[in-house]
Amino acid sequence: MQEIAQQHTKEVEKGERFEFGKNWSAFLSVLDDERIAKAEESLREMLEVEDLKGKTFLDIGSGSGLFSLAARRLGAKVFSFDFDSNSFACTKELKRRYFDGDENWTIEQGSALDRNYVESLGKFDIVYSWGVLHHTGEMWKALENAALPVADGGKLFIAIYNDTGSQAKRWHWIKKTYCKLPKLLKTPFAILAIAPEEGKALIKSLVTLKPQNYVNSWTKYKNGRGMNRWYDIIDWVGGFPYEVASPEELFNFYKEKGYRLTKLKTKGVGLGCNELVFEKENDSGLLI
């Protein structure tokens, strides 16, 4: 684990990686029951279940630990890991707050790119990785590794940034630039990066005589991931490494590996994440 932590620190210092975990650490201060409930509902909706009792759940890139927490509250036996040192710490903190000492929730620091590590974890009924694998620097390798621990008849739930062509390439430059900037310049740069879209939203609210709509977009902001608006923006502007894929590419990639798409959410995602749930065939080629 010490080796992983040192590798993460080195990549951050070289400007090759955004400190997602530091952002998640700040997020813990605003985590509340409503955000946890939204996370639970997201899992129930996409996995098409009422609960996860009797299921094993692997969270690849656990971030704040919110969705590991949601899965545990829904009854699953949970294993969480993250490459980011602060994310690892955040997940441990959430466990301490809500499931202190619980033997059915294990947390480690590890890499989705380490095939031997991922294989060593065993098989799980549900493998979950939301908005993570495109930040590894080797997305397709990470996507392949994510399939390794899925049990026969199990489900793989991933969310990957949408490929929007030149727009995505422009954001690749923005994210890479943000990570290489001195700390003093990061916030001003993030504000400049989001200014065009924020300006459009503000003007629209003024033209339609509904300025409160823009104010509410900040003061009453809640998304399905549990983030608040500013943390969400920094997570987006700074999120490097950054890769993208179309739903078709992901569908074909996993189809060749014996997976069937069971749930898809792509409507209105723009530059955001397409969500896909796959089910793995058993050894006889049938779905359980």
Instruction: Give the per-residue SS3 of the chain.
Output: CHHHHHHHHHHHHCCCCCCHHHHHHHHHHHCCHHHHHHHHHHHHHHHCCCCCCCCEEEEECCCCCHHHHHHHHCCCEEEEEECCHHHHHHHHHHHHHHHCCCCCEEEEECCCCCHHHHHHCCCEEEEEEECCHHHCCCHHHHHHHHHCCEEEEEEEEEEEEECCCHHHHHHHHHHHHHHHCCHHHHHHHHHHHHHHHHHHHHHHHHHCCCHHHHHHHHHCCCCCCCCCHHHHHHHHHHCCCCCCECHHHHHHHHHCCCEEEEEEECCCCCCCEEEEEEEECCCCCCCC
Decide if 254 contacts 156 (C-beta within 8 A): yes
Residues 106 and 196 in one domain: no
164-177 as b/e: b if 16+ CB within 10 A? beeeeeebbebbbb
Residues 172 and 66 in one domain: no
User: Which pLDDT tens digit goes with each residue over 224-268?
Assistant: 454 568 878 888 898 899 999 999 999 999 999 999 999 999 999
**Taking 70 as the threshold, does the pLDDT of residue 132 lie above it?**
yes
- For strands 56-60 and 77-82, give the pairing: parallel
- Sort 7 into a burial class: Cβ within 10 Å, 0-12 / 13-18 / 19+: middle
**Taking 80 as the threshold, does the pLDDT of residue 192 lie above it?**
yes
**Taking 80 as the threshold, does the pLDDT of residue 8 lie above it?**
no
Decide if 240 contacts 175 (C-beta within 8 A): yes
Least confident among 23-37, 116-130, 182-196: 23-37
91 found inside a domain: yes
Residues 196 and 230 in one domain: yes
User: Which pLDDT tens digit goes with each residue over 22-33?
Assistant: 666 666 777 889
Confidence of residue 125 (pLDDT cuts 50, 70, 90): very high
Residues 268 and 141 in one domain: yes
Residues 95 and 126 in one domain: yes
Confidence of residue 12 (pLDDT cuts 50, 70, 90): low
This prediction has a pTM of 0.85
Tally of domains within the chain: 2
232 found inside a domain: yes
49 found inside a domain: yes
Residues 19 and 107 in one domain: yes
Dig out the tokens for 167 from the structure: 């727009």
Predicted pLDDT at 284: 44
**Taking 70 as the threshold, does the pLDDT of residue 14 lie above it?**
no
Decide if 78 contacts 53 (C-beta within 8 A): no
In terms of residue numbers, what domain contains 105? 2-163+242-280
> How far is the first Cα of the chain from the last one, in angstroms, to the nearest whole number?
36
Give the residue from 14, 224, 47, 239 showing the smallest Cα distance to 133.
239
Residues 141 and 39 in one domain: yes
288 found inside a domain: no
Predicted pLDDT at 224: 47
Residues 133 and 246 in one domain: yes
287 found inside a domain: no
219 found inside a domain: yes
Give the residue from 272, 60, 274, 41 showing the smallest Cα distance to 147.
60
Which one is predicted more confidently, 180 or 281? 180
- Sort 250 into a burial class: Cβ within 10 Å, 0-12 / 13-18 / 19+: buried
Confidence of residue 214 (pLDDT cuts 50, 70, 90): confident
In the block, residue with structure tokens 């001195």: 182
Confidence of residue 15 (pLDDT cuts 50, 70, 90): low
Residues 211 and 254 in one domain: no
Residues 16 and 95 in one domain: yes
Please give the Cα distance from 147 to 144 (Å, whole number).
Answer: 6
**Taking 80 as the threshold, does the pLDDT of residue 115 lie above it?**
yes
CATH code, 256: 3.40.50.150
286 found inside a domain: no
Which residues, other chains included, contact 167 with Cβ-Cβ below 8 Å and sequence gap of 6+?
271
Predicted pLDDT at 281: 83
Confidence of residue 17 (pLDDT cuts 50, 70, 90): low
Predicted pLDDT at 13: 67
Residues 128 and 267 in one domain: yes
User: Which pLDDT tens digit goes with each residue over 33-70?
Assistant: 988 999 999 999 999 999 999 999 999 999 989 999 99
177 found inside a domain: yes
Residues 127 and 220 in one domain: no
**Taking 80 as the threshold, does the pLDDT of residue 176 lie above it?**
yes
Question: How high does pLDDT run on average in the chain?
Answer: 89
